């Protein structure tokens, strides 16, 4: 097929990602609402978030091994089927009035784990479908799929009020059927589905550690992953603190408007990255937009103003898909095709590990340290209080100032450390200029050539 055919293939894969992700996001939101309405427990509600983070973080290396060892279409279809089975089980339990809270925790964990297999497979397949000059655009559109998942709860609330939890589950199952059908129909080259591996595969334990060994063996890549991890930490800290910050001076209606504004910034950033593809030097995109994001985050702290946050939140969230898109493009260009799954799975685990750390640190620090210190007469009222003010919620604002400052420092590090700034030129590309030839996916593969592995 021509380059046009490559685009059609990618669109098919991208649409399956959007459908699966949005459907899962709808049910995830509804599950959380059901738990809170049933138990009245904030902790129970929070555990739904935990079950969607921890499995995703821990399963990354296993997902990478599966994506590099087995047919990637099979991996995608099997994990979709497992998630659909878990969702359908919840639906049956709900209709029969046997549903319990722990059932939703299990279903959420299954969905999160399977989602990691999906994300790793897409990240490994994309550079084999799209010529590398368009890889930044492809990553932008994949970020748009993620942004659509974040926006899904806006629609889930309306659906919950009209068709109820059972109706949302049915909609989710329909999206699975469509996504699985699309995966089966899209014709993909054999090289995309079955990467070359050594004739004698290493042990599972060795393969699970392969991503770490690979990163350590390639100058600059550990630094880039560290940058992504730090950026993820800042995003997670902002995510857990922004709602309490807004509610410290505004009501629930204003909160809804501002959350929508922030989500719009995220989606616009993803679509911009998809159309633009990022700057020619992707590491320049990483530090420039990290700097912009840091300044926008710090600006949240200046005063308790809905207008201020309504302007700054979309700016900060706009930078997220650009930074991620640029960084993932560099990783995909520098990692050999046979290792993409294992390396990207490891990168997923390392970066996502920052999320629970941010959740566990940010809220307690705000509640027990900075909020009391920035009450009138508090220990920081005469110093930090001059910058962020004193009173309700200003301790949270101070953490936005600190986290934004850390992002600014991170941007300076990327811009000034030669190993990071020159990563694209000093480490040769491992991805060919064009997509793989249009081989039928169902033909028997040739005997795989021996490939060089990082031991």
| Average pLDDT value over all residues in the chain | 85
Residue 123: inside a domain = yes
pLDDT at 149: 64
Give the model confidence (pLDDT) of 138-154 as tens digits. 888 888 767 766 666 66
**Do residues 234 and 284 both lie within one domain?**
yes
**Do residues 98 and 131 both lie within one domain?**
yes
Per the structure, the count of domains in the chain is 2
Domain boundary among 146, 166, 191: 191
Residue 351: inside a domain = yes
pTM equals 0.82
**Do residues 177 and 219 both lie within one domain?**
no
**Do residues 307 and 414 both lie within one domain?**
yes
**Do residues 364 and 255 both lie within one domain?**
yes
**Do residues 362 and 395 both lie within one domain?**
yes
Domain boundary among 167, 191, 215: 191
Whichever domain contains 373, its CATH number is 1.20.1250.20
pLDDT band of residue 437 (cuts 50, 70, 90) is low
**Do residues 153 and 224 both lie within one domain?**
no
Residue 79: inside a domain = yes
Give the model confidence (pLDDT) of 309-343 as tens digits. 999 999 999 999 999 999 999 999 999 888 999 99
**Do residues 163 and 295 both lie within one domain?**
no
**Do residues 39 and 115 both lie within one domain?**
yes
Q: What is the largest CA-CA distance in the chain?
A: 75
Residue 88: inside a domain = yes
Domain extent for 417 = 206-431
Domain boundary among 140, 162, 191: 191
Residue 196: inside a domain = no
pLDDT at 451: 39
Residue 197: inside a domain = no
**Do residues 187 and 210 both lie within one domain?**
no
**Do residues 291 and 167 both lie within one domain?**
no
Residue 454: inside a domain = no
Residue 201: inside a domain = no
**Do residues 144 and 227 both lie within one domain?**
no
Q: Is the pLDDT of residue 394 over 80?
A: yes
């Amino acid at each position: 097929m021509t380059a046009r055919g490559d685009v059609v293939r990618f669109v098919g894969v991208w649409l399956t990602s959007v459908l699966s992700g949005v459907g899962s996001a709808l049910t995830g939101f509804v599950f959380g609402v059901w738990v809170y309405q049933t138990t009245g427990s904030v902790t129970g509600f929070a555990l739904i978030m935990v079950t969607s983070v921890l499995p995703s973080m821990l399963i990354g290396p296993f997902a990478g091994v599966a994506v590099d060892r087995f047919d990637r279409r099979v991996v995608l279809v099997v994990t979709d089927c497992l998630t659909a089975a878990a969702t359908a089980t919840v639906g049956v339990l709900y209709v029969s009035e046997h549903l319990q809270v722990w059932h939703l925790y299990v279903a959420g964990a299954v969905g999160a784990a399977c989602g990691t297999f999906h994300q790793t497979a897409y990240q490994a397949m994309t550079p084999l479908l799209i010529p590398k000059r368009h890889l930044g655009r492809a990553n932008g559109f994949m970020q748009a799929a993620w942004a659509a998942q974040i926006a899904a709860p806006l629609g889930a609330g309306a659906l919950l009020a009209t068709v109820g939890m059972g109706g949302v589950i049915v909609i989710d199952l329909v999206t699975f059927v469509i996504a699985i059908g699309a995966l089966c129909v899209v014709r993909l080259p054999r090289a995309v589905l079955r990467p070359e591996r050594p004739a004698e595969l290493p042990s599972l334990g060795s393969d699970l550690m392969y991503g770490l060994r690979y990163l350590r063996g390639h100058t600059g890549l550990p630094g880039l992953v560290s940058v992504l991890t730090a950026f993820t930490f800042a995003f997670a800290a902002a995510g857990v603190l922004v709602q309490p910050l807004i509610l410290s001076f505004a009501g629930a209606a204003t909160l809804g408007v501002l959350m929508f504004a922030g989500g719009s910034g995220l989606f616009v950033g993803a679509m911009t990255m998809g159309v633009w593809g990022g700057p020619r030097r992707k590491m320049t995109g990483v530090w420039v937009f990290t700097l912009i994001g840091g300044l926008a985050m710090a600006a949240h702290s200046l005063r308790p103003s809905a207008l201020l946050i309504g302007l700054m939140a979309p700016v900060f969230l706009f930078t997220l898909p650009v930074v991620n898109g640029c960084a993932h493009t560099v990783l995909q260009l520098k990692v050999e095709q046979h290792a993409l799954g294992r390396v990207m799975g490891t990168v997923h685990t390392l970066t996502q590990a920052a999320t629970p750390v941010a959740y566990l640190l940010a809220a307690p620090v705000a509640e027990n340290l900075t909020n009391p210190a920035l009450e009138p007469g508090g220990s920081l009222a005469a110093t930090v209080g001059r910058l962020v003010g004193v009173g309700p919620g200003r301790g949270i604002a101070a953490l936005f100032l600190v986290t934004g400052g850390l992002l600014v420092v991170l941007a300076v590090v990327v811009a000034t450390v030669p190993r990071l700034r020159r990563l694209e030129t000093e480490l040769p590309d491992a991805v060919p200029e064009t997509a793989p030839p249009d081989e039928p996916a169902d033909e028997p593969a040739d005997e795989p050539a021996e490939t060089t592995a990082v031991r």
